[in-house]
Structure 1
Amino acid sequence: MRKQLLGLAAVAALLTACGDTCDENKMVSGGFDNFPAPSASADGPTPGSAADFQKNVQDTVHFGFDRHDLTAEAKTALENQAEWLKKWGGVNLLIEGHCDERGTVEYNLALGEKRAHAAKHFLMSQGIDTSRLETVSYGKERPIDAGHTEEAHAKNRRDVSVVR
């Protein structure tokens, strides 16, 4: 009983002490969820960060079946990537080449490499220095859609540009 009375007295003391000096609008609940993540600001991701690139620039371009040539849509996306890279000169990209599940491992690794190099050469033609661009082919090893439909295959035939 004595512990209960002491607990009630402590709560009453806190409420009384707060009185008019506490502003409920300024009080926050504890924990770290009241603070933005290190790469974010109140208005969005930190400019020039990987999160900024993903939010403001299309990081993926797609290819036709057994193709590594860039479509008009892919060129537009890569032009936007180049503009972003020009703005953030200290940022480098890794361009990942991917394929669908059809074909041998070796064939798809070679095709993924051709796709990644097509994007790299296009970015270089837009004024991005080759030292800022790296390529890798994952072939068919990292599908974004594990389905076996044409829709799944189309999603997997892609390049993804990753900020490094």
Structure 2
Amino acid sequence: MQNLTTKLLMAAALVAVAGCSKKPPAQLPPAPPTESTPAPETTQPEGPVASTVVPGSKEDFLQQVGSDRVFFGTDKYDLDSEARAILDRQADWLAKYPNVRVTVEGHCDERGTREYNLALGDRRANSAKNYLATKIDASRISTVSYGKERPAVEGSDESAWAQNRRAVSVVITGM
């Protein structure tokens, strides 16, 4: 009798578990586009074309300044002449739009400990901020360090590392 009871309980458990199984969705989502899929062609209107870039926007910043980032040497946070020239253009643009704020992000390459890179990223962000603060109101500039957590380029060679040792100015519109 106990054997029959055990078998009935096992059968009931199997039926209960089978009833809880997931049902497949009625319609599957579309597959992600492949790189071989051609982009849809767009036609340009004839005649003078109005710019779609809004003055004072992030897009305007990139278009007018040319770069939102400055680069650093290995284990360095000092600004070279090229970095200062880029920051001068950023400051000139920011001076034209006093309602725009900027966050300077400090980044590092993948080498070194997390703690070391967070500290170095902070020094890089503050180096750029301090330079900008000589040209515009410092209260419009904030900093954040991402260390090695947000690489711009994946890779473990000097080319990738050089692009990841950076400070990036991120425009924040509307104070």
Partner of 1:153: helix, strand, or coil?
helix
Q: Which runs of 4+ in 1 moved over 2 A?
A: none
Structure 1, gaps ≥5 residues long: 1-32, 35-40
Equivalent of residue 87 in structure 2, options 78, 87, 91: 78
When the two chains are superposed, the root-mean-square deviation of aligned CA atoms in Å is 1.5
TM-aligned CA deviation for residue 43 of structure 1: 1.8
Aligned length: 125
Residue in structure 1 matched with residue 166 of structure 2 by the alignment: 158
Partner of 2:73: helix, strand, or coil?
coil
Give yes or no for the alignment of 1:51 onto 2:59. yes
Residue in structure 2 matched with residue 104 of structure 1 by the alignment: 113
Deviations 1:7-48 (A, max 9, x none): xxxxxxxxxxxxxxxxxxxxxxxxxx99xxxxxx92241111
Larger radius of gyration: 2
Equivalents in 2 of 1:51, 1:42: separation in Å?
Answer: 15
Equivalents in 1 of 2:80, 2:87: separation in Å?
Answer: 10
Equivalent of residue 146 in structure 1, options 148, 154, 161: 154
TM-score (norm 1): 0.73
Give yes or no for the alignment of 1:115 onto 2:137. no
> Quick one: which amino acid aligns to residue 106 of structure 2?
G
Identity %: 54
Structure 2, gaps ≥5 residues long: 1-41, 44-48
